[in-house]
Chain A
Amino acid sequence: MKRTVRQYLLHFFFILLPVMTYGTERAWSSDLHTWTVEEIGVLRSLSIDSLPPLPKDPTNKYADNKKAAILGNIFFTDSRFSGNLKVSCATCHPANRNFADNLPLAHGMGTTNRRTMPLIGVAYNTWFFWDGRKDSAWSQALGPFESPVEHGFTRTRCAQIIIDHYKDDYEALFGPLPVFSKRDLPALAKPAIDEPVSLKAWITMPPDVKDAVNRIYANMGKAIAAFMRTIIPAPSRFDHYVRAIVEKDQKSAIKILSSDEVKGLRLFIGKAQCLNCHTGPLFTNGDFHNISIPQPADLPADQGRADGIAKVLADEFNCLSVYSDAPRSDCGELRFIDTDTDKYAGAFKTPTLRNVAERAPYMHAGQFSTLHEVLEFYKNLPPGQRSPELGHFDLNDREMHQLESFLRTLSGPLIFASD
């Protein structure tokens, strides 16, 4: 930026003095859109054109099965899989609203303690949920069904609904359903540590029946994951801008983003330090960070990732479980998980910034209702809570506005990969 200003002044004094107003404007705007080779490298790394093909999910052999994705889409919107027949995955992830509910805390049968996560580009995640307590999209999809404040349901009832309503579709994909007697599937049964009645019903079931139910439940999750995988972002104005810059088409570039938006982009990849966590074409490093965000007073304390580590290791549907299709060698993320709970105390997953402007409120419990509030939070972190990688303490109001303007250029349509 310093160089830009200096050049501007040189132009001003020696070349452009006679045609002052018109000339300086032009010099300024062409400089604004001139990027160094290094900067273009950074822009490309953030562009959607750098998004690799959907990564394989070795834990789910149905991940790229189109029929599984179609069935998964139906499961996703079927509210019969809920205690009050009103809640489906789409309740909190409505397709017509970016698969997000725009509420501070998710509402199913009750209210959860966290914000609904975006599903955009979900297949690229390593860890799922804010605390990464799941390591695959299909095991993630199963969590909400048995949560009393989300679907308020049980896996035995899920199995029963599949037997009653989805027998043919299910068997065409996953093979024959077992035959259960009514007594085999107690409606209340689930391995819920804090619901003793349900836990007792589950624990006292014969092992082979539990295993058969778990297989149906896991397959249900795998179908839903096959559908969720297809939800990917399409190019935003930012991506079109980078394409124009890469193709050295400055004339087009100038029309795509405004001066403020480009200045915001320069801040984003420069002194605002956003790149420290929001890297790559999905604008996330996929890791967990404690950014000293205040926990709402009416919610219990939340240790985030520090608690998620043991949960994913203990998860009955994790990569190393019998319900995963992955060989042990494909479970590196779980086998070499960082177990440092001090490092991850109060840490939450870096969310994608794609479509971020469409997704208020923000943070793991919807603490901030606008992007402006989020940026102010980073600016005003008290000294004791600052880490060298976090925050932009020296931005002025104008720059804060530019940064926010840039974030709004990351909105684009969602598309389905199988289309």
Chain B
Amino acid sequence: MKLLFSAFLIVLMPFMVSADTDHSKFTQHYKESLFKITENGHFSVEMVLKEKVLQVGKNAINLILHDNKDRDVVGATLTVIPWMPDMGHGVSEQPVIEEKGGGLYKVKNVVISMSGRWELRITVARDATEDTTVFEFKDIKKGKGHHHAMSAPAAGDIDLSVTRLSHKKLFSVTYESLLDPLRINRIHSWKLTVKTADGQPVTGATVTVDGDMPEHGHGLPTQPEVTQEVGQGVYLVEGLKFSMPGWWVMDFHIQKNDQEDTVTFNIQPK
């Protein structure tokens, strides 16, 4: 009997040891993070996001990666796929990943197109090593207690300013819709006033337009264009149309000489 027990222990030992070391190799460095070890034990992934939840719409997350010797993972290639397992679909929008150094990767444009159960499927590849983990979010909700597929984030949740600074703060941009108030399914024009951050008009810039509906992952039904500069740094945008009520995001990419930047407006046509 004793022998049998010893044999049992000996057989079990390697598993116990390996299970033990598996845990000791990885450390959760950030208290507030969601922590996962990749399937084959090559990396740990810590996900830092506001209140540990994703919301319907565009999300930004931070990922901190360590390898199994607790070293920062630098120069890895990451893929992040939002996936809805019950529906068997993802989203058409691709997350944008930027390595910040020290094992930190910023992931923007993580689009969650509807409420419900979602997964973020993350693959880490460095040199010849590739490994995967899945973060599950059991019940992603819209911004604030809305029930309908059509409802947009509450007015207070998103910045509806008509004047905003571009992302790199190069330009201060104001839009004026010539259709006021903004309505759906009406083709119309905007006037876009572009100034430098210190208020000088930006003339002769090349401005391109793009728009999309983050909650739905689709773009505009038209291809709007800047057709002319109608005043000093004032550009006419023609062909705008919104096919659904709700939250839309309009991006204007502005290029003047060697400076370029993008400004984003949130709008809620009715």
Q: Give A contacts to B, CB under 8 Å.
A: 38-39, 42, 45, 126, 269-271, 273, 275-276, 279-280, 285-287, 332-333, 335-340, 343, 383-384, 386-389, 393
- Residue count of chain B within 8 Å CB distance of chain A: 34
Question: A275-B150, A338-B222, A339-B223 known; A386 and B87 CB under 8 Å?
Answer: yes
| Closest residue on chain B to residue A1 by CB atoms | B147
**B residues in contact with A384, CB < 8 Å:** 88
Q: Report yes or no: A42 in contact with B150, Cβ–Cβ below 8 A.
A: yes
Chain B, range 207-258, C-beta contacts under 8 Å to A = 216-225, 238-239, 241, 243-245
Q: Report yes or no: B245 in contact with A279, Cβ–Cβ below 8 A.
A: yes
Q: Report yes or no: B84 in contact with A388, Cβ–Cβ below 8 A.
A: yes
Q: Report yes or no: B113 in contact with A388, Cβ–Cβ below 8 A.
A: yes
Chain B, range 80-120, C-beta contacts under 8 Å to A = 84, 86-89, 91, 113-114
**B residues in contact with A333, CB < 8 Å:** 187, 222, 241
Q: Report yes or no: B225 in contact with A336, Cβ–Cβ below 8 A.
A: yes
Q: Report yes or no: A287 in contact with B243, Cβ–Cβ below 8 A.
A: yes
A388 and B115 CA atoms in complex are apart in Å by 10
Is B31 interfacial (CB-CB < 8 Å)? no
A388 and B218 CA atoms in complex are apart in Å by 10
Which one, B114, B184, B241, contacts A388 given CB within 8 A? Answer: B114
Q: Report yes or no: B149 in contact with A270, Cβ–Cβ below 8 A.
A: yes
A285 and B147 CA atoms in complex are apart in Å by 21
The list of the 8 closest CB pairs from A to B, nearest first, reads: A336-B239, A383-B88, A388-B113, A332-B187, A336-B222, A273-B149, A285-B243, A386-B89
**B residues in contact with A38, CB < 8 Å:** 146, 148, 151
Q: Report yes or no: A336 in contact with B216, Cβ–Cβ below 8 A.
A: no
A sample of 8 more A-B contacts (CB under 8 A), given A126-B185, A285-B221, A393-B86, is A273-B149, A287-B221, A332-B187, A335-B239, A336-B225, A338-B221, A386-B89, A388-B114
Q: Report yes or no: B243 in contact with A286, Cβ–Cβ below 8 A.
A: yes
Task: Pick from B148, B224, B238 the residue with the most CB of A within 10 Å.
Answer: B148
**A residues in contact with B218, CB < 8 Å:** 389
10 contacts between A and B (CB under 8 A): A279-B245, A285-B185, A332-B187, A332-B239, A333-B222, A336-B224, A336-B241, A386-B88, A388-B91, A388-B217
CB distance from A66 to the nearest CB of B (A): 27
A285 and B225 CA atoms in complex are apart in Å by 22
A271 and B150 CA atoms in complex are apart in Å by 10
| Closest residue on chain B to residue A386 by CB atoms | B89
A340 and B91 CA atoms in complex are apart in Å by 18
Q: Report yes or no: A270 in contact with B243, Cβ–Cβ below 8 A.
A: no
Which one, A275, A280, A383, contacts B185 given CB within 8 A? Answer: A280
A389 and B86 CA atoms in complex are apart in Å by 14
Q: Report yes or no: A388 in contact with B89, Cβ–Cβ below 8 A.
A: yes
A45 and B148 CA atoms in complex are apart in Å by 15
A88 and B216 CA atoms in complex are apart in Å by 43
Q: Give B contacts to A, CB under 8 Å.
A: 84, 86-89, 91, 113-114, 146-151, 184-185, 187-188, 216-225, 238-239, 241, 243-245
**A residues in contact with B217, CB < 8 Å:** 388-389
CB distance from A130 to the nearest CB of B (A): 16
Which one, B87, B146, B150, B224, contacts A393 given CB within 8 A? Answer: B87
A232 and B70 CA atoms in complex are apart in Å by 70
Q: Report yes or no: A276 in contact with B216, Cβ–Cβ below 8 A.
A: yes
CB distance from A92 to the nearest CB of B (A): 27
Which one, B150, B219, B222, B245, contacts A337 given CB within 8 A? Answer: B222
A387 and B149 CA atoms in complex are apart in Å by 14
A285 and B88 CA atoms in complex are apart in Å by 26
**A residues in contact with B147, CB < 8 Å:** 270
| Closest residue on chain B to residue A282 by CB atoms | B185
A340 and B218 CA atoms in complex are apart in Å by 13
**A residues in contact with B245, CB < 8 Å:** 45, 279
**B residues in contact with A338, CB < 8 Å:** 220-223
**B residues in contact with A387, CB < 8 Å:** 89
Question: A270-B147, A273-B149, A275-B149 known; A336 and B89 CB under 8 Å?
Answer: no
CB distance from B212 to the nearest CB of A (A): 12
CB distance from A406 to the nearest CB of B (A): 15
A287 and B146 CA atoms in complex are apart in Å by 26
**B residues in contact with A343, CB < 8 Å:** 219
CB distance from B87 to the nearest CB of A (A): 5
Question: A276-B244, A383-B88, A384-B88 known; A335 and B238 CB under 8 Å?
Answer: yes
| Closest residue on chain A to residue B91 by CB atoms | A388
CB distance from B59 to the nearest CB of A (A): 15
CB distance from B134 to the nearest CB of A (A): 17
**B residues in contact with A271, CB < 8 Å:** 149
A393 and B216 CA atoms in complex are apart in Å by 17
| Closest residue on chain B to residue A340 by CB atoms | B223
**B residues in contact with A383, CB < 8 Å:** 87-89
| Closest residue on chain B to residue A384 by CB atoms | B88
**B residues in contact with A340, CB < 8 Å:** 223
**A residues in contact with B148, CB < 8 Å:** 38-39, 42, 269-270, 275
Which one, A126, A269, A335, contacts B150 given CB within 8 A? Answer: A269
**B residues in contact with A273, CB < 8 Å:** 149
Q: Report yes or no: A389 in contact with B113, Cβ–Cβ below 8 A.
A: yes
A39 and B151 CA atoms in complex are apart in Å by 10
Task: Pick from A271, A280, A388, A393 the residue with the most CB of B within 10 Å.
Answer: A388
CB distance from B25 to the nearest CB of A (A): 37
| Closest residue on chain A to residue B225 by CB atoms | A336
Q: Report yes or no: B88 in contact with A332, Cβ–Cβ below 8 A.
A: no
CB distance from B79 to the nearest CB of A (A): 20
**A residues in contact with B185, CB < 8 Å:** 126, 280, 285-286
A384 and B239 CA atoms in complex are apart in Å by 33
CB distance from A232 to the nearest CB of B (A): 17
A221 and B226 CA atoms in complex are apart in Å by 34
A257 and B199 CA atoms in complex are apart in Å by 59
A280 and B270 CA atoms in complex are apart in Å by 10
CB distance from B165 to the nearest CB of A (A): 28
| Closest residue on chain B to residue A329 by CB atoms | B238
A273 and B114 CA atoms in complex are apart in Å by 11
| Closest residue on chain B to residue A388 by CB atoms | B113
A233 and B117 CA atoms in complex are apart in Å by 41
